[in-house]
Chain A
Amino acid sequence: MNNFTYFLDNLSVLSFVKVFFIVGLGLYAFFAYLMLRQVGVMSRAVEMQDEYIVKIIGIAHFLLAVFILLIALLVL
């Protein structure tokens, strides 16, 4: 119980912001992965010229989301 009250005493607004950032960015990374999957599905449905550009953008977007999540874990 003492540990819990100690924890509550040290809980600041910044802790909430930190949790908000990490959870939000984690969910966003999952969303970026779903986008990447959807690009793959659509590319199979209709094969077009130079569609690899869209795939590259999708991969870059997903990697960027993961990279920013890692930065948030390190910096915050």
Chain B
Amino acid sequence: MVDVYSASKNKKTKPKKSSKKRSRERVSVSKIKKVIKPGGKEGFLTSFATFPKKICFENQERGEEIVLFLRPHPIVNVGWLALAIVIAFIPAFFDFFPPYGSLPVNYQMMMGLSWYLLLLGFVFAKFMSWFFNIFIMTDERVVDVDFVNLFYRIISEAKIERVQDVNSEMSGVWQTFFNYGSVTIQTAGEMPQFAFENIPNPDLVARMINQMIDLEEQEKLEGRVK
């Protein structure tokens, strides 16, 4: 009987602890919101968004909020899109190749269909490597999702308190004109360096990360780690 009583007592006290923790986390997030102004649009093809509501990741902890969501600037897709357009017009010149003309009609048709299927595959693979190349910064850590190719992807993360140095770089006419570049983060963790390439507003992103580091250090001093 005593055990039952103590168990129910424990049940009542637990939510209080978690609500305290959650409210503490909310305080840290609200502090971040004061420092980092909302910007960017949260959409299907967005490459820069602060405090996105409809994005979450696999190892996201309860109460952990995404502060910054980044993808490479959409302009980086221009190269492969132009190549895809050129490839799409190549079948128009098939007739100039004598072996093609000697093939029966059904073989010619299959060649055209296969060509456009391969083109679709190329476009889809390139789109995927852009779409799933993501950088996420939460109120606790930085997460880098690198979709190198179809058979190779890396998901690495580091706590903000472990970030030591942040550099932003913008070089060349295109990067200056379209305001995109790379941000490199040096950490004391297992992954010594995070490089986010071709991301929009690199200076702003570097500034945001620095502000997050400052807030984290301030929280440490105040004794509110996590």
Contacts and interface: CB of A to CB of B under 8 A. Distances in A.
Contacts of B132: 42, 46
Given A28-B121, A45-B57, A50-B44, A21 B110 contact: yes
A61 B55 contact: no
Interface string A48-60: 1111011001100
Given A14-B104, A21-B114, A68-B117, A46 B57 contact: yes
Nearest to A18: B107
Interface in A34-71: 34-35, 38-39, 41-42, 44-51, 53-54, 57-58, 61, 64-65, 68, 71
B98 to A, nearest CB: 13
Interface residues of A, number: 35
B14 interface: no
B43 interface: yes
Contacts of B57: 45-47
A49 B131 CA distance: 12
Interface of B: 42-44, 52, 54-58, 103-104, 106-107, 109-110, 113-114, 117-118, 120-121, 124-125, 127-128, 131-132, 134, 136, 145, 147, 150-151, 153, 155
Contacts of B58: 44-46
B120 A61 contact: yes
A8 to B, nearest CB: 22
A57 B124 contact: yes
Contacts of B125: 35
B36 to A, nearest CB: 20
A17 B109 CA distance: 13
A61 B54 CA distance: 26
A24 B118 CA distance: 11
Contact of A49 (B54, B121, B151): B54
B92 to A, nearest CB: 20
A39 B120 contact: no
Given A42-B153, A53-B44, A75 B109 contact: yes
Contacts of A48: 44, 54-55
Given A35-B124, A48-B55, A17 B145 contact: no
A59 B121 CA distance: 12
Given A65-B121, A75-B106, 13 more contacts: A21-B114, A34-B151, A42-B153, A46-B134, A46-B145, A48-B55, A49-B42, A49-B55, A53-B44, A54-B128, A58-B124, A72-B110, A76-B106
Nearest to B43: A49
